[in-house]
Amino acid sequence: MSHPGSRPRKYLVATGAALAATLALTGCSGGKDKSADKPGPPPPPPSEQPEESQTAAPGSVALKSSTGLKKPVTYDDKVTVAVSNIRYVRNKAKGPGEVTGKQLTIFTLTFTNGSSRPLDLNKVKVIARYGPKRAQASPTSYADLNDFYGTVAAGKKKAASYAFDLPATGYKSVVLGVNFDAKHKTAVFAGALRH
């Protein structure tokens, strides 16, 4: 017995059989060009962005910070992480995902590789917390700021900037955590910011 709006069963079976035959014939074509199976040349490496562009934040203003946010963290293998600059900017961009008028806090971090091996920065994770309840600040984008990526050769340094939606009302107590691999403990910077 058929219900209003339903198709009779024999049409569903016929449709299913036709679909199966079409798929079987499509998969059996043997006239495939063998050169299509050969991989092409690898893609070019990413272009290196100048460090000035990676950390540039047009219109930003420097913030003063307490000693705890300025003190570098140096590990036993002579790798050092430092907060080298802290700024704020009022976002004026008007585009997808942009919150015009929002104040952003920008932390520039510098890794100095004093070890004898290259330092992998592909897994850097930066978390900012603020205020007495240690609320987590939301990471955001601004201008051409880029995260860390790639490696730092022995004896070299690399900087990158991270922007957060960290309100000025939370500046009395700021904690920045920087994790970059399983061998090193999280670098923690804590202190206060002021205009």
For residue 89, count other CB atoms closer than 10 A to its CB. 18
List, in order of start, the domains of the chain with CATH numbers.
Answer: 51-194 (2.60.40.4170)
Q: Which has the closest alpha carbon to 170: 101, 81, 91, 103?
A: 103
CB-CB contact of 105 with 85 (8 Å): no
pLDDT at 85: 95
**Cα dihedral 9/12/16/19 (nearest 10):** 160
User: Which token pair is 23?
Assistant: 């798929």
Judged against a pLDDT cut of 80, whether residue 2 lies above it is answered with: no
The band of 53, judged by pLDDT with boundaries at 50, 70 and 90, is very low
Report percent pLDDT > 70 for the chain.
68
User: What gap in Å lies between CA 3 and CA 146, rounded to an integer?
Assistant: 60
Write the DSSP assignment of 52-70 as a string of letters.
HHHH--TT-EE-EE-HHHH
The mean of the pLDDT values for the chain is 81
How distant is the alpha carbon of residue 11 from its chain centre? Answer: 52
Judged against a pLDDT cut of 70, whether residue 65 lies above it is answered with: yes
Is-above-0.85 flag for pTM? no
Is the model more confident about 43 or about 67? 67
Is the model more confident about 159 or about 29? 159
Task: Give the C-alpha distances (Å, rounded to integers) separating 112 from 57, 72, 73, 86.
Answer: 22, 10, 10, 18
pLDDT digits (tens, 9 = 90+) for 147-165: 999 999 999 999 999 999 9
Q: Who's near 76: CB < 8 A, 6+ residues apart?
A: none
